[in-house]
Structure formats: structure tokens, C-alpha cells
Amino acid sequence: MTVIVTGGAGFIGSNFIFYMLNAHPDYRIVCVDKLTYAGNLSTLRSVMNNPAFSFVKLDICDRSGVYSLFEKEKPDMVVNFAAESHVDRSIEDASVFLQTNIIGTSVMMDACRKYGIRRYHQVSTDEVYGDLPLDRPDLFFTEETPIHTSSPYSSSKAGADLLVLAYHRTFGMPVSISRCSNNYGPYHFPEKLIPLMIINALGNKPLPVYGKGINVRDWLYVEDHCKAIDLILHNGRAGEVYNVGGHNEMRNIDIVKLICKELGKPESLITYVADRKGHDLRYAIDPTKIRNELGWMPETKFEDGIRRTIKWYLDNRAWWEEIINGDYQQYYEKMYKDRQKA
């Protein structure tokens, strides 16, 4: 079995590659990644010499490059993680989000149509459902919740999802989609909430909380997400969407305070800054379908996962220091310097 994993030099894709090489030692994994600012080859160092693994630097929008790769590798399955993934960047400039997330997805699926595929899996997000009100804890996203996006990022992911389902209906392509809640764990790029707060706290720098910090996210340890995708890939029904989440809702401010506590840093580092434009209030997944159909349940409790994650950032300083000492500095300056106090 040969599996093409796109975006495998990023956060979830790399964790998925580690997971798959372990879980299916007889599979060949071919990682396709453009190595944007978010892709990091050093993340894959431990598997580079594994004969079951190979890396190809390629843009998923490069049609002839993708077709040549399919001709050479003859993949049985494709798991498409490759995407622009940061909401704040999509608010600054949506163009690359539309290009990679929508056009790139269509190129990957056209290659699957042309050369044949057992399964094309699209890694999507709960953000396609928009948000839920803070005062209705009884409401959750199900697979039937209407698509109702808030940001250019989530709109581009929703566009891709609709295209994937259209290829199933129109061409009978064997597709599946997972819509997962917020992930956390090793190799999470420093621009995202949890790694940003850990890294800033370690440097005794301000911890920029958007608005009042009361927005709620539903956090899942990355390995649990990887297990869910593996199950859907092998046992999920073609043409179906599966929500993935573990009923672990937390307010942003409570996460930041927990990180301060774990690192022994003062809460006085917390700085409230201007809110994100169009900031989604609450995400919360109902995972009944994947639990009932595929027996998936999250295994890592948040208290354990967050400690493991903090320890990983403490033990792997070289990985994130190289990032934050590069172009990331200009990004940080641009995004946070003039952010008015809330």
C-alpha cells in the first residue's frame, strides 16, 4: 500500500506520518510538501532514512508535477493535509489560501481521477461550521450542521470540502472528509495559540490574549486525530464526512493561565489585545458518528496532553528557536506590535 501524505512537513501531517509508519510498517509513505513557512524538513529528520518513507518537495497546485508523481508512485491512497492553516494570516491576505486550499485540492483530486485511487481523504476542520453561541452549551456541531464560515481560511476549507463531495457525486470518486477540532501537541507551529503562549512565557514575554479571552475551543491531542484519520481511511464509508473531537472545551484565557501555572510564570505576563476580526466564539464537536461507526474515542486526557506538549517544547528548543529567529520575527512584529489594547 502506497499512501501520499500532502503537507507532511507541517504540524498534523508530520505527526500522521510518524503514526502511520508505526501502525503500518508494511506501507510506503510518500510525503509531498512545498515547504512553505509552516513546513519544516527538520521535523521529518527521524524518518528521512526509513526505507518505507520518501519526501518530495512539490506544490500541490503544480499539476504536471503532481501527475508525474502519481505516474511514478502509483498511490493507493491520498491524505491531503496541505493547506494554509492560520486564520490570522487569511485575514491579512486570502489569496494563497484560495490557491492552495481550493485549487491545490482540485489538482490532487484530478490526479486521483486520472490515475485511479482507492481512497482520497480530505483533512478538514470544524471551522467550516462557523461558531456556536457561548450561552448555549447544549449545542454541538454535527455532520448535518450547515456550512457557515467566518474567515477566509474557513471559507477556503469549506470550498475544498464541497469540491471533494462533488467529485464523489459527479465522478464516483471514493472520498472521505474529517472535520476536526483544534489540535495541540509536538511540532505545532509557533504562530498558534498554545505554542505561542508556551514560547512567549519561556521568554518572559507578553502573552497576547485576543479580546476578553472567553472564546472557546475544543482541544484534541494530535495523535488522537491521527488515529481517527487512519480509521476513516480504512473503514470509513466513501462519500461521508466524519466529525472528530473529544468534548474538551476550554476558554482561551484558562489555557493561557494553565500554561503560566505549569511553567511557573506570573499571570501578569497576560496582555489583552484587540480581538481577531470576525472571531468565532465557540467550537464544539459532536463525535457520535465516528464513535458509533468506527469505534473511535480520544485517548489522551487534556491534563496529560498539555503537560506532554509543554515538556516537548522544553526538550526541543532548537526546533522552535530556529523558527522564531527567522522570518517569524517579521510576522510577529506585523501581527502584534500595533495591536491596540482591548
Which of the residues are catalytic? 126-127, 153
Instruction: Report whether 283 contacts 126 (CB < 8 A).
Output: yes
Smallest distance, Å, CB 74 to ligand NAD? 20
Q: Which residues of 219-257 are buried (b: 16+ CB within 10 A; e: fewer)?
A: bbbbbbbbbbbbbbbeebeebbbbbbbbebbbbbbebbb
Nearer to ligand TDX, 119 or 192 (CB): 192
Q: Which of 83, 63, 81 is closest to 156 using CA atoms?
A: 83
Considering only residues 261 through 320, tell me which ones interact with ligand NAD, judged by CB under 6 A. Answer: none
Out of 100, 105, 150, 182, point to the residue binding ligand TDX (CB under 6 A): 182
Window 244-263: contact mask with ligand TDX (x via CB under 6 A): --------x-----------
Smallest gap from Cβ 38 to ligand TDX, in A, equals 10
Q: Are 218 and 182 in contact (CB under 8 A)?
A: yes
Q: Which helix (H) or strand (E) holds 55?
A: strand 53-57
Of residues 12, 30, 258, 284, which one binds ligand NAD by CB under 6 A?
Answer: 12
Write the interaction track for ligand TDX spanning residues 200-239; mark x where CB under 6 A is met and - where it is not: --------xxx----x-x----------------------
- Of the two residues 62 and 271, which places its CB atom closer to ligand NAD in the complex? 62
Instruction: Tell me if 305 contacts ligand TDX by CB under 6 A.
Output: no
Contact between 249 and 317 under an 8 Å Cβ cutoff? The reply is no
Total of residues contacting ligand TDX (CB under 6 A) = 16
User: Using an 8 Å Cβ cutoff, are 300 and 232 in contact?
Assistant: no
| Beta carbon nearer to ligand TDX, 193 or 310 | 193
Minimum distance between the CB of residue 115 and ligand TDX, rounded to whole angstroms? 29
Query: Residue with C-alpha cell 464516483?
Result: 172
Position among 17, 29, 30, 87 found at the interface with ligand TDX (CB under 6 A): 87
Among 3, 29, 60, 228, which residue sits at the site for ligand NAD (rule: CB under 6 A)? 60
Contact assessment for residue 256 and residue 205, using Cβ atoms and an 8 Å cutoff: no
Would you give the binding string for ligand NAD spanning residues 182-201, x where CB under 6 A is met? xx-----x------------
Cβ neighbours of residue 121 closer than 8 Å, sequence gap 6 or more: 77, 78, 79, 80, 175, 176, 177, 178, 229, 232, 233
On the 0-12 / 13-18 / 19+ scale of CB atoms within 10 A, 268 is exposed
Smallest gap from residue 82 Cβ to ligand TDX (A): 12
9 makes contact with ligand NAD (CB under 6 A): yes
CA nearest 88: which of 178, 12, 154? 154
Cα separation, 35 vs 40, whole angstroms: 6
C-alpha cell belonging to residue 138 = 447544549
Q: Which one of residues 17, 87, 100, 282 is an interface residue with ligand NAD (CB under 6 A)?
A: 100
Q: Which of 276, 291, 308, 339 binds ligand TDX (CB under 6 A)?
A: 276
Residue 123 interacts with ligand NAD (CB under 6 A): yes or no? yes
> Reduced to 3 states, what is the DSSP secondary structure of residue 338?
coil
* Of positions 108, 193, 229, 232, contacts ligand TDX by CB under 6 A: 193
Residue 54 near ligand NAD by CB under 6 A: no
- Cβ atoms of residues 72 and 32 within 8 Å: no
Residues in contact with ligand NAD by CB under 6 A are 6-7, 9-13, 33-36, 38-39, 59-61, 81-85, 100, 104, 123, 125, 157, 180, 182-183, 189
Binding site for ligand TDX (CB under 6 A): 85-87, 125, 127, 182, 192-193, 196, 208-210, 215, 217, 252, 276
